[in-house]
Amino acid sequence: MISQQTIQQILSRIDIIEIVGGFVKLKKRGTNYLGLCPFHNEKTPSFTVSPAKEIYKCFGCGRSGNTISFLMEHEKYSYVEALRWLAARYNVEIEEKELSPEARQQQQVADSLYIINTFAQKFFTDTLFNAEEGRDIGLSYLKERGFNEEIMRKFQLGYCPDQRDVFARAALAAQYNAEYLIRTGLVVQREEKLIDNYRGRVIFPVHNQTGKIIGFGARIIRSNDRAPKYINTPENEIYVKSKILYGSYQARQAIDKADECLLVEGYTDVISLHQAGIENVVASGGTSLTLDQLRLIRKYTHHLTIIYDGDNAGVKAAMRGLDMALEEGLDVKLVLIPDKEDPDSYVRRIGASAFREFIAANKKDVILFQLEVALKDAGGDSNKKAAVVNQVAETIARINKAEDFTRQQDYIRQSAEILRIEETGLYTLVNKFIRERIAKQEAKTANAADRPVSEPGDPSALAVPSDEDSLNLLFRHEQNERGMIRVLLEYGLRAWDEQTLVADYVLGEFAELADLIDNKRLLTILDLFKDWYQQGLEPSSKSFLYHEDQELSTLAVSVMDVHLELSPNWKEHYEGKIATPDELYKEDVLSTMRYLKLRKVYRLMEENQADLGKPHSEEELMMLLQTHMHLKEMERSLLQDLGTVIFK
């Protein structure tokens, strides 16, 4: 929790050119800076940064945002992480906000769970090495599996006695709270009594990256059909399955050093490989990888190698997370262990150095591997093959960082070769998927779901206007909704006439036009603006730029123009007349409002025509026809005003 003062301090120091320029090579062009977009692949720069407006915008893929959203998107930081990064950069000391009572309560619960887990780990480890039952059953089992004592101590393995409540009684005697004990999953309640949950099992503590114990895996020793092989900690304040990579604490330095992370399925795979001296290894528990897990890996390395046994369902599960891995910029390889063995048994049989050699020699590129498997499945069926082509293009399209451009090209070349299709065709297809995905993301940010877009064939769009220009206007509908907010944010506080400001004019006109705005999020900006303005504050684009609601800030940025492009007609129209570019903003405001008015006129014409279709008296017919003439005249006049200024 960062205090509001600190946030303000950070925001006041931000220099967008300096920050973005640290990641993207920028060149000055007029008042703006230009560079190659880091979010899509391009050869000619269309990524524009405006120091005056403190925003960036890409005219290639449409991404836009402020310094913080740049860090969030480019570096995959959370909002708070981006603020902390900036604070460190500008030497701003972070003042932490007082935790809310709920947050403090949650923190206290978490602390209690950590303490109980530490107590439990010590109890189980002590039992394993020092108690008779522990040594006879637990320790001898682990030794039989080939683990030495050193590695058991490194991973803090343990044993829970096969008795009713030995641990529960010890924990209660040590004054631990029964409710929290249940929440850790170490004990369960049976008829008012606490009994041990992991009876007769060997215990694998699970650590977070900082080494704190967040939970346990408990493995059965004698196989028993009725009992599960493993019991794991239930989800609680500190044990969140989707964020856990087993072994990340013990492996982190080795991953950093090797610049590679090996991923296996189970606890024993991790421990065996460690014992063999291969320490850059973690386990996902056999489920598909989550975004949190991928980001955890990416903190240390960009190279992920998945090691699974060949005919295991786990391979498919691991594959499911891979599209995300590509988006996170991870380079993913796959190694399949042969002969129905797993990494644990395989490294034991062939030894560490042979294992290393095997991994190095059998790394398959995961995209090409998937492609080969899918192609084999498709056989001679050309429909299925077409689906495979689409699938691989979509996958390759997810490699979307500019620094991975070469990698993407390589994939296109190799995939085209495997598929025996033309490289250029696949390239076009990949680009299509990139555009689609970005458009989808954009739409999501702008909350497009509640915005009906006029499509060709949509009767509401085609009902009235007939000529091409009018149609164009309807397709520009979304743009002109945004335009109204834009002129308000950009020019709101400039003079409209001698007495009033642009904001007065726009807000006044808007009272009539509000029902035309389909994107309700835009109305949120408008309402906020109005509130602030009426309170005598001076709202501007900056007020929204760093609004704490990221979605709102993104939307505000997306309506802003980094360079107002005047159409040639417009320039012609004004050159030598009003002549000062300073006055052009009024024309910008006027034409934006005209678009909206024109839309209003079309809507009224539709209603009028619908009325004409209903039965009516002679008198009513005259009225309706008159209204129609009147609206037609308004349309003509608005189109004329707009045409002279805007249309080419």
Contacts with Zn ion, residue ranges (CB under 5 A): 37, 39-40, 58, 60-61
- Name the residue nearer to Zn ion (CB basis): 39 or 346: 39
- Report, in Å, the least distance between residue 433 CB and Zn ion: 15
- Report, in Å, the least distance between residue 138 CB and Zn ion: 57
Find how far residue 581's CA is from the centre of its chain.
Answer: 41
- Report, in Å, the least distance between residue 59 CB and Zn ion: 8
- Report, in Å, the least distance between residue 41 CB and Zn ion: 9
Gap between the Cα atoms of 485 and 528, Å rounded: 11
Gap between the Cα atoms of 366 and 306, Å rounded: 9
- Report, in Å, the least distance between residue 27 CB and Zn ion: 16
The answer to whether 173 and 200 are in contact (CB under 8 A) is no
- Report, in Å, the least distance between residue 427 CB and Zn ion: 17
Neighbours of 72 (CB within 10 A): 18
- Name the residue nearer to Zn ion (CB basis): 40 or 333: 40
Binning the chain into helix, strand and coil, the percentages to the nearest 5 are 60, 10, 30
- Name the residue nearer to Zn ion (CB basis): 59 or 230: 59
For residue 308, which amino acid is it?
Y
- Name the residue nearer to Zn ion (CB basis): 435 or 547: 435
- Report, in Å, the least distance between residue 36 CB and Zn ion: 9
- Report, in Å, the least distance between residue 561 CB and Zn ion: 17
- Name the residue nearer to Zn ion (CB basis): 345 or 558: 558
β 213-220/331-337 pair status: unpaired
- Name the residue nearer to Zn ion (CB basis): 37 or 334: 37
Number of H helices, E strands in the chain: 31, 16
* Total residues belonging to the chain: 648
The answer to whether 243 and 297 are in contact (CB under 8 A) is no
- Name the residue nearer to Zn ion (CB basis): 76 or 356: 76
- Report, in Å, the least distance between residue 402 CB and Zn ion: 9
Gap between the Cα atoms of 526 and 212, Å rounded: 48
Q: How large is the C-alpha radius of gyration of the chain?
A: 32
- Name the residue nearer to Zn ion (CB basis): 51 or 60: 60
Which string of DSSP letters, residue by residue, matches 66-113?
-HHHHHHHHS---HHHHHHHHHHHTTPPPPBPPPPHHHHHHHHHHHHH
Q: Where are the beta strands (DSSP E) in 270-365?
A: 281-283, 303-309, 331-337, 364-365
Gap between the Cα atoms of 276 and 216, Å rounded: 23
- Name the residue nearer to Zn ion (CB basis): 61 or 474: 61
The answer to whether 536 and 525 are in contact (CB under 8 A) is no
**Tokens 């099992």 label which residue?**
201
